[in-house]
Structure 1
Amino acid sequence: MEVEDWSINQILEKTKLTKEQIEEKIKKKIEEFPALTREAAIRSVATDNGVILIRRDYKVSDITEELNHLNLRCKIMRKFEAKEVNLRGGKSKVMNLMVGDETGQIRVVIWDTNRIAEIEKDFREGDEILIINAYSKFSSFSNSFEINIGANTLLKLIAHKETHAEADNYARISQITEENKSYKVRGFITRIFTNNTFIIRCNICGKRVDEKCDIHGDKALSKTLMISAVIDDGLSSTKVTFFDRVAEKFLGLSKEGDLRQKLNDISFGLYQVEVEAVAKSFNGILSLTARDVKPVDYSVDSSKGET
């Protein structure tokens, strides 16, 4: 099944929308934001209707079509020497890795010269690695699908030994299981919910209201910035909500510009952050309410030794 079909089916299954209604919403979303790809528009329609479409973690055997923003945990089976090739009238450097997991093997192609130098220096055959935010494409040369490392792809060496301090410092999203417990997580912001970016509260009783407080009217109302997003640590994901000054700090991590115009970039996982948060339960589902947030450098060097 194509990713687009899978995404639309997820919306069909989890909402009361018909396929025709979904297509109409996709069309309107693209008309509203012409820069959106159809894939990003589908994701936006899904999040507008409470459906989180995240399938980022793949096995080698899953990579049978062109995919964007894929994650793969694998082992380097073979590291080939980089070589120069003629490309568009000039010379370029390319390097290949053969990686594998329990389901098979696949070729990884790297064109960036700086990334090639880092891999030559720091990555060895037998190393276990995490590939985050790569893409796959069909190669007519090998007659198979390959993984390509883009400018925003993260390669992480997976440490086989971890100190207790490192283990206790950050939680995996899959380890967030207790309500009202504080957690520190690190991951990519893969999506921002662009509806309802402000909430209105009554300053007297603190109640969240639509237009006015049932008890105190509209004389003591205040607007609070509220940004909801999805954070993905490469293995799993969850919703995280930023309020007030924390929301302002979070937005300051991104490029300047209108929030809605950031949808494409942020949905592509370009921003990595560290979040201190409390787990809260809404309708029986745990999510995070952020207390603090700060950016994280996701260069290859800074990621060595992390899990």
Structure 2
Amino acid sequence: MYGLTYDDIVEKIVTEKKVSKEEVEEKIESKIKQLSDLISKEGAAQIVANQYGVRVMENVSDKNFKINELPKGVGSVNALGKVVQIFGVVTFNRNGKEGKVVNMIIGDETGTIRLVAWDEGIISKIEDGSIEEGSILKVRNAYSKINNGRNELHLGGKSLVEINPDGEKIGEVQNTVAPERSSAEKKDISELKEGMFVELHGTIVQLFEPRHYMACPECNKKVSPEGEGFKCNGHGTVDAKKSPIVNMFFDDGTSNIRIVCFSNQAEQLFGKSSTDIADSNTEDFEDLKKLVLGKQLIITGRVNKNAMMDRLEFMVSSIKEMDPVEMIKKH
């Protein structure tokens, strides 16, 4: 999952830091013992690499996505989908201003997803019948977000939609809408499959520098700049707040997985406000790493597929520290 094997990580540390392989492996073994064998060798090597200041992860670029590949929490994504259902245009009034929103389900041969349109131009196409059930939509510059544990696509003022584009066809749509689960079953990371809603027990072995987006203080959805302020499609002009997105690697000894925490979970993990986390600089980030690397947690959330990295990821919905007594009993 990390992209580098245990041997690769050790070699990278030795090469970049001019230290002996024996020294590195000794530190890794010490870390495994420190964490009561609740971590794999690769996970321990990842922590040691961080301590040496050696980077072992690489960034990836954007692409066009099939529905079941759409990444979560991304500010600009592209997709092609057939309209399966339109729920109708809803008119609302916020701060004395009238607005409209419409929800649709679109899909392709790989799955379905909710598409939420806030842009007046796009909504007018639904009202005049230009967009209807069966229409194929080529979506550009939409943003994805998690709502009630599920991925959604949102169309804002910067989004573009081409209706029934030439040469684009979609076969039978695969309906992947499933009911939410009320409880999470404990699983090992090695058992995970896309779509599972589960509980994991493990250790944070890698922390990436937090990113952030400007969010509505009422619904926590992304807002757009307007004049000297910000506008939420659902709540009008608002005093926007910075909302952090924190990515980490989580290891339970059977395997490891990238986990994603948003504002509430990030605040709980670091014991800091969303604004403080989002405003963290390089020096602050090093302090954050010291706070959480090696921390043992119980997390609940949903398993999603990251098509860019061709791997599973875990969207965290709840988080708590593992009780040492319970940890000993279970292991």
TM-score range, shorter chain: 0.3 to 0.5
TM-score relative to the length of structure 2? 0.38
TM-score relative to the length of structure 1? 0.41
